[in-house]
């Protein structure tokens, strides 16, 4: 039942929160990681590309550890595996790199042993590991996910992103870990702020599902996390306030940051001006950043059906950016 030729999966990056939907809303993005996994005599890693710099290449690696969680859950013993990875998703920038590693590792491990666990089971396991379902849900199912995590089970609905929705991300050079960006959040909030976020998050989901681009800007406003995280991302407050006047439908901190994300109507003629405005403003605050135009990814993680005798690099050649 173990696929002796191994498996390869392609998994999208994701953005979480979309402003008010803290720990609830996620959207998959057209930026990807690839993970190959095979049975082996000794555990070994092949890490390719700049985004793998600094990751451990031993059994402490997150992908190895999530694979073992899947094997344990399925009652299979497979302690020694060969893992190959390439990624275009920048690490620790708010684009769901940890979620892509968790989902990629879990789905690859499950496929390697004949897929005994359902996608919904993997979603529960991944949400437990991340602590919230937004990024992992988007990487697993693709599209836009609204999800509720009760500590045991995740309920979710997936929405197909509108075809005219385009995503501009501005990625600062510095890293900001999710755990550091959660430490600045208060334990308690006022009822007024709770109502502020519930109403906007609900409106945002409805606006996204009905293609009501006119409502996205006002719906993406947030009082739960962005005001507290603003001090960690110089220039962010100004950009959140001004970008909607510069051609963005709405703008938000992507996940826990430091990346900023703007939703844009594909036909908008001010797209390049918006990009310049975001980069120039960050520069004014001393932040070097790079801009990427992405699409929402309708696909979540994909398992290669035809893992050939080729090497991992041959498999992903033609798809990767470097
Ligand atoms: N391919 C990978 N293999 C192993 N570990 C990874 C991989 N990708 C990410 N990680 C781990 O996840 C950490 C980053 O997680 P973190 O939650 O801080 O940021 P993020 O997921 O990029 O951003 P966000 O959750 O805000 O979207 C990395 O420092 C590394 O430990
Ligand atoms: N919802 C999470 C996403 C980052 O993992 C947060 O904002 O902390």
| pLDDT of 136 higher than 80 | yes
- Predicted confidence at residue 311, as pLDDT, reads 76
Q: What is the mean pLDDT of residues 117-125?
A: 98
Closest ligand to C-alpha of residue 226 is 2
Spell out the residues 6+ positions from residue 102 whose beta carbon is closer than 8 angstroms to its own.
62, 66, 126, 129, 130, 136, 139
- Contact by Cβ (8 Å): 91, 51: yes
Give me the chain's average pLDDT, please.
95
**Test site for ligand 1: of 14, 46, 54, 98, most ligand atoms within 8 A of the Cβ:** 98
**17 alpha carbon – ligand 2 mean position (Å):** 7
Residue nearest (by alpha carbon) to ligand 1 atom 14:
92
Spell out the alpha helix ranges (H) of the chain: 62-74, 97-112, 119-130, 134-141, 178-183, 191-210, 213-219, 226-229, 236-242, 271-284, 312-316
pLDDT at 306: 57
In whole angstroms, how far apart are CA 130 and each of 110, 169, 178, 179? 18, 22, 10, 11
Instruction: Give CA–CA dist 45/147, Å, rounded.
Output: 33
Q: For the residues 97-103, what does the mean pLDDT come to?
A: 98
pLDDT at 316: 80
Query: Which residue CA neighbors atom 23 of ligand 1 most closely?
Result: 94
- Residue 307 binned pLDDT confidence (cut-offs 50, 70, 90): low
Q: Check if 136 has its Cβ closer than 6 Å to any atom of ligand 2.
A: no
How far, in Å, is the centroid of ligand 2 from the Cα of 181? 8
Nearest CA to ligand 1 atom 29: 92
CA atoms within 13 A on the CB side of 31: 24
The reply to whether the predicted model has a pTM over 0.90 is: yes
* Segment 75-93, tens digit of pLDDT: 999 999 999 999 999 999 9
Atom of ligand 2 nearest to the CA of 16: 3
From the CA of 180, give the closest atom in ligand 1.
18
Concatenated DSSP letters of 23-45: TTEEEEEEEEEEEEEEE-SS-EE
Go through the domains of the chain in sequence order and give each one's CATH number: 7-160+297-316 (3.30.230.10), 165-294 (3.30.70.890)
pLDDT level of residue 314 (50, 70, 90 thresholds): confident
> How high is the ipTM of this complex?
0.98
Using DSSP bridges, classify how beta strands 81-87 and 44-48 pair: parallel, antiparallel or unpaired.
parallel
261 labelled ligand-binding: no
Q: Which one of the ligands is nearest to 89 CA?
A: 1
The answer to whether the CB of 66 is under 6 A from ligand 2 is no
User: What was the pLDDT predicted at 322?
Assistant: 56
pLDDT > 80? residue 321: no
Is 93 annotated as a binding-site member?
A: yes
Question: Is 100 labelled as part of a ligand binding site?
Answer: yes
Task: Please enumerate in sequence order all residues whose Cβ is within 8 A of that of 269, keeping only pairs 6 or more positions apart, or say none.
Answer: none
Residue 15 CA: nearest ligand 1 atom is 27
* Cβ neighbours, 10 Å, residue 283: 12
Distance CA 84, CA 170 (A): 28
Residue with tokens 């603003």: 230
Q: Can you give the pLDDT at residue 160?
A: 98
The pLDDT value given to residue 1: 83
pLDDT at 315: 76
User: Is 151 among the annotated ligand-binding positions?
Assistant: no
**Quick check: 94 pLDDT over 90?**
yes
Say whether 241 sits in a helix, a strand or coil.
helix
Which residues sit opposite 303 in a β-bridge? Answer: 9
Query: Tell me: the pLDDT tens digits for 202-253?
Result: 999 999 999 999 999 999 999 999 999 999 999 999 999 999 999 999 999 9
Residue 65 has pLDDT above 80, yes or no: yes
The answer on whether 98 is annotated among ligand-binding residues is: yes
Tell which residue, 30, 54, 96, has the closest CA to residue 319. Answer: 30
Q: Ligand 2 pocket, 182 CB below 6 A?
A: yes
Sign of CA dihedral 306, 312, 315, 319: positive
* Spatial strand order in the sheet of 260-265: 250-253, 260-265, 165-172, 289-294
96 assigned ligand-binding residue: yes
Ligand closest to the CA atom of residue 55: 1
What's the pLDDT at 310?
Answer: 61
- Separation CA 249–CA 166 (nearest Å): 10
Q: What is the pLDDT of residue 161?
A: 97
Taking CA atoms only, the protein residue closest to ligand 1 atom 10 is 98
Residue nearest atom 8 in ligand 2 by C-alpha distance:
256
Judged against a pLDDT cut of 80, whether residue 64 lies above it is answered with yes
Residue 185 φ then ψ, to 5° = -85, 145
Which of these, 320, 310, 318, 301, lies nearest to 99 by C-alpha position? 301
Burial group, residue 142, by CB count within 10 angstroms (0-12, 13-18, 19+) = buried
């Amino acid at each position: 039942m173990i696929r002796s030729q191994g498996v390869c999966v392609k998994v999208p990056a994701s953005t979480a929160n979309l402003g008010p939907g803290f720990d609830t809303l996620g959207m998959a993005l057209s930026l990807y990681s690839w993970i190959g996994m095979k049975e082996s005599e000794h555990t070994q890693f092949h890490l390719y590309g700049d985004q793998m710099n600094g990751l451990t290449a031993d059994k402490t690696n997150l992908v190895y550890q999530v694979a073992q969680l899947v094997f344990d859950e399925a009652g299979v013993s497979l302690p020694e595996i060969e893992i190959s990875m390439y990624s275009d998703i920048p690490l620790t920038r708010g684009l769901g790199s940890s979620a892509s590693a968790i989902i990629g590792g879990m789905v690859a491990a499950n496929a390697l042993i004949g897929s005994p666990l359902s996608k919904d089971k993997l979603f529960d396991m991944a949400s437990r590991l991340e602590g919230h379902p937004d990024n992992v849900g988007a990487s697993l199912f693709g599209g836009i996910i609204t999800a509720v995590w009760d500590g045991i089970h995740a309920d979710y609905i997936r929405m197909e992103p509108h075809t005219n929705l385009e995503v501009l991300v501005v990625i600062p050079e510095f890293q900001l870990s999710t755990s550091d960006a959660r430490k600045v959040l208060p334990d308690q909030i006022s009822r007024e702020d709770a109502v502020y976020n519930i109403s906007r998050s609900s409106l945002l989901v409805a606006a996204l599902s009905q293609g009501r681009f006119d409502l996205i800007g006002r719906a993406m406003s947030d009082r739960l996390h962005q005001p507290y995280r603003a001090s960690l991302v110089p220039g962010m407050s100004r950009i959140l306030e001004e970008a909607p006047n510069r051609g963005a439908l709405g703008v938000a901190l992507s996940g826990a940051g430091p990346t900023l994300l703007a939703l844009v109507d594909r036909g908008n003629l001010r797209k390049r001006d918006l990009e310049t405005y975001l980069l120039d403003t960050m520069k004014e605050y001393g932040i070097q950043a790079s801009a990427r135009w992405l699409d929402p990814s309708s696909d979540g993680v994909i398992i290669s059906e035809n893992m050939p005798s080729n090497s991992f690099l041959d498999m992903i050649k033609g798809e990767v950016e470097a």
